[in-house]
Amino acid sequence: MTIQLVQVAFIAPILGWVVYTIYCLLVNYYEARKTGLPLVILPIDSGNPLWMSIDTRVLPFFRRLPFGFKNFTRFNWRGWEIEDRYRAHQELGDAFIFVTPGKNWLQICNAEAVADIFARKGEFTRPTEMLEMLNIFGPNLGTTEGQQWQRHRKITATCFNENNNEIVWHESIRQATGMVRYWTSKSSINSVADDTRTLSLHVMSGAGFGKSYDFRGAEDEATAQDSASYKDSLKIILDNCIPLVALGPNNLNKWWLPQSWKELYRATVTFRNYMTSVYEEEKKSVADGKKGSNNLMTSLVRASADAISGDGNNQSGLTEQEIYGNIFVFNFAGHDTTANTLAFGIALIATRPDVQNWISEEINAVFGDKDPVTSSYVELFPRLKRCLAVAYETVRLYTPVAIVKSTGPEPRPLQIGDKIHVLPPDTMIIPSYSALHTHPRYWGDNSLDWEPSRWITSSASSSTNVDDILASELFFEFSKSQNPFIAWSGGARVCPGRKFSQVEFVGVLVGLFRRHRIHPVRLAGEDDATARARLRALIHKDAGMKLLLQLLHPEHVNLVCEEH
């Protein structure tokens, strides 16, 4: 009798949960069917955080089972789209829906429809409820919608300007020069990902806060004993985003939590104190009528003060908390994205000596004898089209972040091809970046190859003069309404750090390939071509989704850097 009761007490809630899950799935299926789009039913919602943390470990078990589970093992994990590329859209069409017990997720690989979604910014909004956690230092550009977002966007847009990009330019070249020095001092390099992280952090502290550091390689960095500075606290925060955003900074200081989390808590305090001191300092110098520098933090304080004094309405500026929130989100959104892209880009270009020569030709034509570290950003950056092509081509195939939109509370009609489909309220929309970026319809037969030259069109006649050829080259642009390339998003919510990251990437290439070349370390019995093919295959296999897309085992990328 009691045993039966215990059994019921255990089984009833589980049974209830299963019934409820099936019920939710049916409701979503019924809604999704009304769209007339192909449906793929999945048992677990893609946004389920518990599932997200175990999916790639659990699924191999299901793959070994002899029967069924095909769609589950193919689609129901984070990062499936990298492996799948455009295959699912080839099978099912430009749009299909993942029906899950949580939400319905529309996957869409149609450039016109995606442009339409970006353009209708009031209808297809960012599901900010998923981003609540990024508010730890204050509300910000990334986590607001509607009028609040407009206020944030207006102020923050003034910070991402050419003056700031100029800081990015000089700092990136200087850091890359330091990185090359470190790399050439070693017989082989296996710290590409660590080193690009250091580089990206240093560029961010220079352009974000006006704090300049010299580059230090992975080994030197590990042995250095720094006091807890802004840079270290930021590094600790960014390396531990997940517990931080999961728990909130104030819950990290409990005596029963592990020591490392208390350290994380101290880092948040140091970081906030640092922001406060810069904030106070800058407010004072605004009041004293002093001219400011162009880093993001000081520009933000000034732009906000200007907005308030401009129309005498303190509602149009940002509060102190909001300024901290934005500075945090710039770091959060800008650091790993750029660092991972650089790591992919450097590994990829190591497999292509021809591409290294191709950009080196441009770099040398543009710089001549000028010292890149002190060169003019405004004059020279726009001429480095081949270098920019390497950046675009890298984020085309290895896109660091996905975009998520939602229909919000209303049904939304959307034209896909020549049909209009009505999307139910609360449908999640994922522009299928991995398919859009590789579909042969947009990129031709070599769409899966890493080929930077696809971004350059040349009207060069028969000239063999390098300067003539370079001058005649144009950077390829898609038209706005038919643009399948969405690595930096598009429309009103386009990435504000787009140019920042492009300038950084190009600056690093300049620092690396003006005088140097890189190639993979040869294993016993390999020639150069085999080593390059092995590295290319390794990058392809090793690209995986953590918080962002990254190389999962970057230490397997072994390179040699030599003067040319």
Q: Which tokens sit at 264?
A: 């994380």
Is 303 near ligand HEM (CB under 6 A)?
A: no
* Nearest distance, CB of residue 334 and ligand HEM, angstroms: 3
Tell which one of 209, 330, 358, 513 touches ligand HEM (CB under 6 A): 330
Spell out the SS3 assignment of 267-319.
HHHHHHHHHHHHHHHHHHHHHCCCCCCCCHHHHHHHHHHHHHHHHCCCCCCCC
Cα-flanking dihedrals φ and ψ of residue 323, to 5°?
A: -65, -45
Alpha helices in 368-475 (DSSP H): 377-380, 385-397, 433-436, 440-443, 466-472
91: partner contacted, choices ligand NAG, ligand HEM, none (Cβ within 5-8 A by kind): ligand NAG
C-alpha dist (Å) from residue 145 to 36, 110, 389? 30, 25, 33
- Spatial distance between the Cα atoms of 268 and 254, rounded to a whole number of angstroms: 14
403: partner contacted, choices ligand HEM, ligand NAG, none (Cβ within 5-8 A by kind): ligand HEM
Q: Which DSSP letter does residue 125 get?
A: B
C-alpha dist (Å) from residue 152 to 334, 395, 401, 500? 17, 27, 21, 18
92: partner contacted, choices ligand HEM, ligand NAG, none (Cβ within 5-8 A by kind): ligand NAG
Q: Which tokens sit at 459?
A: 């009207």
Tell which one of 489, 508, 539, 558 touches ligand HEM (CB under 6 A): 489
Tell how strand 549-551 and strand 543-545 pair up. antiparallel
Is 329 near ligand HEM (CB under 6 A)?
A: yes
275 versus 350: smaller Cβ distance to ligand NAG: 275
* Nearest distance, CB of residue 319 and ligand NAG, angstroms: 5
173: partner contacted, choices ligand NAG, ligand HEM, none (Cβ within 5-8 A by kind): none
Is 46 near ligand HEM (CB under 6 A)?
A: no
338: partner contacted, choices ligand NAG, ligand HEM, none (Cβ within 5-8 A by kind): ligand HEM
Is 400 near ligand HEM (CB under 6 A)?
A: yes
- Per CB under 6 A, the segment of 103-111, 329-337, 350-358, 522-530 that binds ligand HEM is 329-337
Tell how strand 456-458 and strand 473-475 pair up. antiparallel
Tell which one of 109, 180, 278, 403 touches ligand HEM (CB under 6 A): 403
- Spatial distance between the Cα atoms of 54 and 51, rounded to a whole number of angstroms: 5
Give one word for 402, left, alpha or beta, with left for phi > 0 and alpha for psi -120 to 50.
Answer: beta
In the range 120-139, which residues lie near ligand HEM by CB under 6 A? Answer: 126
* Nearest distance, CB of residue 317 and ligand NAG, angstroms: 6
* Nearest distance, CB of residue 500 and ligand HEM, angstroms: 4
Tell how strand 412-416 and strand 419-423 pair up. antiparallel
Length, in residues, of the chain: 564
Is 337 near ligand HEM (CB under 6 A)?
A: yes
167 versus 333: smaller Cβ distance to ligand HEM: 333
For residue 510, the cross-strand partners are none
> Which residues make Cβ contacts (< 8 Å) with residue 375, sequence separation at least 6?
173, 367
Please state the residue numbers annotated as binding site: 495
349 versus 531: smaller Cβ distance to ligand HEM: 349
Tell which one of 307, 333, 428, 435 touches ligand HEM (CB under 6 A): 333
Comparing C-alpha atoms, which of 561, 564, 522 is closest to residue 349?
561
73 versus 175: smaller Cβ distance to ligand HEM: 175
41: partner contacted, choices ligand HEM, ligand NAG, none (Cβ within 5-8 A by kind): ligand NAG
Q: Which tokens sit at 161?
A: 């300007």
92 versus 228: smaller Cβ distance to ligand NAG: 92
* Nearest distance, CB of residue 322 and ligand NAG, angstroms: 8
- Per CB under 6 A, the segment of 175-183, 213-221, 394-402, 458-466 that binds ligand HEM is 394-402
502 versus 558: smaller Cβ distance to ligand HEM: 502
Is 436 near ligand HEM (CB under 6 A)?
A: no
361 versus 426: smaller Cβ distance to ligand HEM: 426
> Which residues make Cβ contacts (< 8 Å) with residue 453, sequence separation at least 6?
355, 358, 386, 389
Tell which one of 142, 206, 217, 249 touches ligand HEM (CB under 6 A): 142
In the complex, the residues that contact ligand NAG under the rule CB under 6 A are 40-41, 71, 91-92, 314-315, 317, 319
Q: Which DSSP letter does residue 522 get?
A: P
Alpha helices in 34-191 (DSSP H): 49-64, 70-75, 80-84, 87-92, 111-119, 146-157, 162-184
Is 554 near ligand HEM (CB under 6 A)?
A: no
The binding track of 251-290 with respect to ligand HEM, each residue x by CB under 6 A or -, is: ----------------------------------------
One-letter amino acid identity for 381? F
- Spatial distance between the Cα atoms of 347 and 192, rounded to a whole number of angstroms: 8
- Per CB under 6 A, the segment of 171-179, 218-226, 325-333, 530-538 that binds ligand HEM is 325-333
In the range 490-519, which residues lie near ligand HEM by CB under 6 A? Answer: 493, 495-497, 500-501
Please state the residue numbers annotated as binding site for heme: 495
198 versus 501: smaller Cβ distance to ligand HEM: 501
- Spatial distance between the Cα atoms of 352 and 517, rounded to a whole number of angstroms: 10
- Spatial distance between the Cα atoms of 122 and 119, rounded to a whole number of angstroms: 9
- Per CB under 6 A, the segment of 66-74, 112-120, 267-275, 489-497 that binds ligand HEM is 489-497
319: partner contacted, choices ligand HEM, ligand NAG, none (Cβ within 5-8 A by kind): ligand NAG
> Which residues make Cβ contacts (< 8 Å) with residue 81, sequence separation at least 6?
88, 402, 432, 433, 434, 435
- Spatial distance between the Cα atoms of 258 and 16, rounded to a whole number of angstroms: 36
Give me the residues that bind ligand HEM (CB under 6 A), please: 126, 141-142, 153, 329-330, 333-334, 337-338, 341, 395, 400-401, 403-404, 487-489, 493, 495-497, 500-501
